[in-house]
Structure 1
Amino acid sequence: MTTTLDPILVVDDNAELLDLIQILISNAGYQAVTTQHSTQALELAKTRHFSALFTDLVMPVLDGHALIQAIRQTDGHHDLPVVVLSGIAIAEQKSSQPWIHHLQKPFSLAQFNAALEQVMATPQAR
């Protein structure tokens, strides 16, 4: 599948996982922009539009929840669909924010692809 959608922003402080996620997104036909730093992700969101956000939950400086909230306050990202990647049990990380999907680490290829498909199928992923 080749798409003309805006890229997906991926944030994880684990470089190896970040590389893997970029490959998986690319193999699914989407473009990914990656960073290990939540503050850099926020700066990127201020200057470009993204179709979705994949973010780790536990990161230095801004955790995943703070990052989601900050990005959703930038122009054009108010209802940005998000996949939270975390080793923390899903029941402990639920958020009241809309359009947030959860993918618990470690995850299988099938689980990742299902989450990617689900988030990119939301009307907000443009």
Structure 2
Amino acid sequence: MVLHVLLVDDNARARESVLAMLNPAYFQVTVAEDGLGGLNLAKKQPFDVVLTDHKMPIMDGIALIRNLSELPSYKNTPLCLMTTGDVAQVRERAERVGADHVLAKPLDESLLQLLNSYRQRDIV
């Protein structure tokens, strides 16, 4: 099964890093460069998982997650925040608005483990 992922990050290098980790045989990734663009994409089509950066212009990741968690179509969609900040501090705020996971940047194989757990859940 292919997992449809919405990747939202204003940093081109960070986006490329994530894209390089995700095998297209298992992950179909749609990219947005800011939270508002991500929100607009999410309203137009469903995604299985949303990965968003924390700090971005126009709309940050916290605001994006807050907006997505209020949409009925995203009530059961994993919403994951990526941050270069202090994960413990960011996690508290992120979870209050509906984030399921907070990941430290730079990302590592834990991202693949997390996404594969979602793939396995959907297969079963």
Q: Shorter-chain TM-score: which interval? A: 0.7 to 0.9
Q: How many residues align?
A: 120
Asked if 1:67 is matched to 2:64, the reply is yes
How far apart are residue 114 of structure 1 and its match? 2.0
Tell me the distance in 2 between the aligned counterparts of 1:98 and 1:8: 17
Task: Tell me whether 72-81 or 46-55 shows the greater mean CA deviation.
Answer: 72-81
Can you give the 5+ residue segments of structure 2 that lack an aligned partner in the other structure? none
Match of 2:8 in 1: 11
Q: CA RMSD in A?
A: 2.3
Tell me the distance in 2 between the aligned counterparts of 1:15 and 1:42: 18
- In the superposition, the TM-score normalised over structure 1's length comes to 0.81
Can you give the 5+ residue segments of structure 1 that lack an aligned partner in the other structure? none
Query: Conserved in 2, the CA contact under 8 Å of 1:52 and 1:120?
Result: no
Map 1:16-55 to 2 at 5 A.
16-27=13-24, 29-55=26-52
Match of 1:85 in 2: 82
- In the superposition, the TM-score normalised over structure 2's length comes to 0.82
Query: Conserved in 2, the CA contact under 8 Å of 1:9 and 1:33?
Result: yes
Tell me the distance in 2 between the aligned counterparts of 1:58 and 1:21: 17
Any idea what SS the aligned residue of 1:79 has?
Answer: coil
Match of 1:111 in 2: 110
Task: Tell me whether 67-76 or 37-46 shows the greater mean CA deviation.
Answer: 67-76
Q: Which has the higher helix share?
A: 2
* Deviations, residues 81-119 of structure 1 (Å, cap 9, x unaligned): 0221100111111123556112101232x2221232244
Asked if 1:56 is matched to 2:21, the reply is no
Amino-acid identity (%): 25
**Counterpart residue type for residue 21 of structure 2:** L
